[in-house]
């Protein structure tokens, strides 16, 4: 992060603007909107800028820049087309510790102007650090369409009740739950519909009848196979409101970073025969945290109900009367296969697909192999890397052709994705040859032969 975003209170404070043209005028408008007093120094000035200075009880000096102009100012904007002068102003400001913005010269700036979405008192700022200002403005335009103008009214309404709610709920977590209910429910909808008085009445009723929530809630959320863009909207919303996050080993760091920043994060990941927290303890922890009134995000790689032990966890929650939600995720089979260019079904090659766990709860490896050898079905093995040699041998022994195409997909859907194609006779050898490690998905079937034509995403690694 090259710039730390901060919001500065400029009301009634003096800001120096060097320059009197169109660029200086644009900056001056923003500064005036923030309540700043302007000191404008320029040999020539546009009429609109002159009027802005006069109306805001500022100062206008029709001359060149002098070092004494920096006295008493809290911010400096250099908006001239004289590059040596802009560089001198930047150097003078940095020597005195005064924040300076030099228009269109990020290297000379100690502060930069973001693209702004103004829904006062709600303000959204977007910046590219000066590297791509047009991109920042395009993103601002998108945000403008997502955030109605009435969001400012909603924020103003919240301000009116903030003291009451704080006295009603001394605990910060209870306040957070209260306000999230307000901002995501009927009160917010009334304000968005232009019914501010109705929204205020509903909020007053909610304050009058408010009581701390006795129980929290658990969100069982599928994080997908790795690419954050594959998360659902609902998953993102719940990730942003959870108080505690319990996450697995297979959840990508980039996805964890999308969770609310002040949420407590607990790693409960598992490897084969190596559990950071035993499953029974995870179940108890979910119950305990929810009974403390917390909103608990149980974040799982892939889909919670496909080899994710989600069923075991919500059984415990249901038995204890804990409210919960389940948000499906894109399972590794569909996500990794799609990114590897391998369709799991195809009219010419496979009319069915089977998802198979590579080992059982007790670590044993016992499958009905006779059901898995049909040439017209695709097999997808989860957690099959350790037992891959046995898988290949058993499939061949029970009638699947040794030449059946097969693939290994390591860290599928991410920039680290690696795909290795072979067949049942040599697939296990590819693991040692290329140092393949978990998380890796195994796909067996004729559809793998289509990869050469259909592969579209290679990530950062070459595939074979």
User: Binding site annotation covers 43?
Assistant: yes
11 among known catalytic residues:
no
Looking only at the bridges linking them, the beta strands covering 405-410 and 440-444 are antiparallel
User: Binding site annotation covers 301?
Assistant: yes
User: Of 69, 92, 243, 248, which residue is the catalytic one?
Assistant: 248
Q: In the predicted model, what is the mean pLDDT of residues 325-349? A: 95
94 among known catalytic residues:
no
Q: Model confidence over 213-223: pLDDT tens digits?
A: 567 889 999 99
Q: Model confidence over 124-144: pLDDT tens digits?
A: 999 988 888 899 999 998 888
User: Binding site annotation covers 212?
Assistant: no
Residue-level pLDDT at 1: 78
pTM, full prediction = 0.65
User: Binding site annotation covers 42?
Assistant: no
Looking only at the bridges linking them, the beta strands covering 270-271 and 274-275 are antiparallel
User: Binding site annotation covers 412?
Assistant: yes
User: Binding site annotation covers 253?
Assistant: no
Specify the range with the lowest mean pLDDT, choosing from 164-173, 387-396, 418-427. Answer: 164-173
User: Of 94, 195, 270, 291, which residue is the catalytic one?
Assistant: 270
User: Binding site annotation covers 23?
Assistant: yes
Token representation of residue 296: 């608990």
Q: Model confidence over 45-70: pLDDT tens digits?
A: 999 999 999 998 899 999 999 999 99
User: Binding site annotation covers 217?
Assistant: no
pLDDT confidence tier of residue 275, bands split at 50, 70 and 90: low
């Amino acid at each position: 992060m090259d710039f730390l975003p901060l919001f500065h209170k400029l009301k009634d404070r003096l800001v120096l603007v060097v320059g009197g043209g169109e660029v200086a005028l644009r900056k001056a408008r923003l500064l005036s909107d923030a309540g700043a007093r302007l000191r404008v120094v320029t040999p020539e000035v546009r009429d609109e800028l002159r009027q802005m200075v006069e109306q805001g009880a500022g100062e206008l000096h029709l001359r060149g820049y002098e070092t004494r102009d920096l006295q008493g100012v809290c911010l400096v904007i250099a908006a001239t087309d004289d590059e040596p002068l802009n560089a001198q102003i930047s150097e003078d400001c940095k020597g005195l510790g005064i924040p300076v913005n030099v228009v269109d010269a990020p290297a000379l700036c100690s502060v930069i102007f973001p693209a702004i979405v103004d829904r006062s008192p709600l303000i959204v700022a977007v910046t590219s650090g000066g590297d791509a200002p047009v991109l920042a403005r395009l993103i601002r335009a998108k945000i403008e369409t997502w955030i109605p103008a009435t969001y400012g009214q909603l924020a103003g309404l919240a301000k009116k009740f903030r003291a009451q709610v704080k006295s009603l709920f001394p605990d910060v977590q209870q306040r957070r739950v209260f306000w999230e209910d307000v901002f995501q429910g009927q009160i917010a909808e009334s304000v968005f519909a232009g019914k501010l008085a109705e929204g205020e009445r509903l909020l007053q009723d909610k304050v009058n009848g408010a009581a701390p929530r006795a129980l929290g809630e658990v969100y069982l959320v599928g994080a997908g196979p790795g690419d954050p863009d594959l998360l659902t909207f609902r998953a993102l919303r719940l990730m942003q409101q959870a108080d505690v996050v319990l996450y697995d080993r297979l959840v990508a760091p980039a996805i964890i970073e999308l969770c609310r920043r002040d949420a407590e994060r607990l790693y409960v990941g598992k490897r084969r025969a190596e559990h950071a927290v035993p499953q029974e303890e995870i179940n108890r922890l979910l119950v305990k945290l929810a009974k403390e009134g917390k909103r608990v995000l149980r974040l799982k790689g892939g889909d919670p109900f496909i080899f994710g032990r989600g069923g075991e966890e919500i059984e415990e929650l249901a038995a204890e009367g804990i409210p919960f939600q389940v948000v499906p995720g894109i399972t590794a089979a569909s996500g990794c296969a799609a990114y590897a260019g391998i369709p799991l079904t195809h009219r010419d090659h496979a009319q069915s697909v089977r998802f198979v766990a590579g080992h059982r709860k007790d670590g044993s490896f016992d499958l009905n192999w006779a059901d898995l050898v049909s040439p017209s079905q695709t097999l997808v093995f989860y957690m099959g890397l350790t037992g891959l040699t046995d898988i290949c041998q058993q499939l061949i022994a029970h009638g699947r052709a040794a030449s059946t195409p097969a693939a290994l997909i390591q860290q599928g859907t991410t920039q680290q994705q690696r795909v290795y194609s072979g067949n049942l006779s040599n697939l296990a050898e590819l693991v040692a040859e290329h140092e393949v490690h978990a998380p890796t998905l195994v796909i067996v079937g004729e559809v793998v032969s289509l990869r050469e034509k259909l592969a579209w995403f290679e990530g950062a690694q070459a595939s074979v």
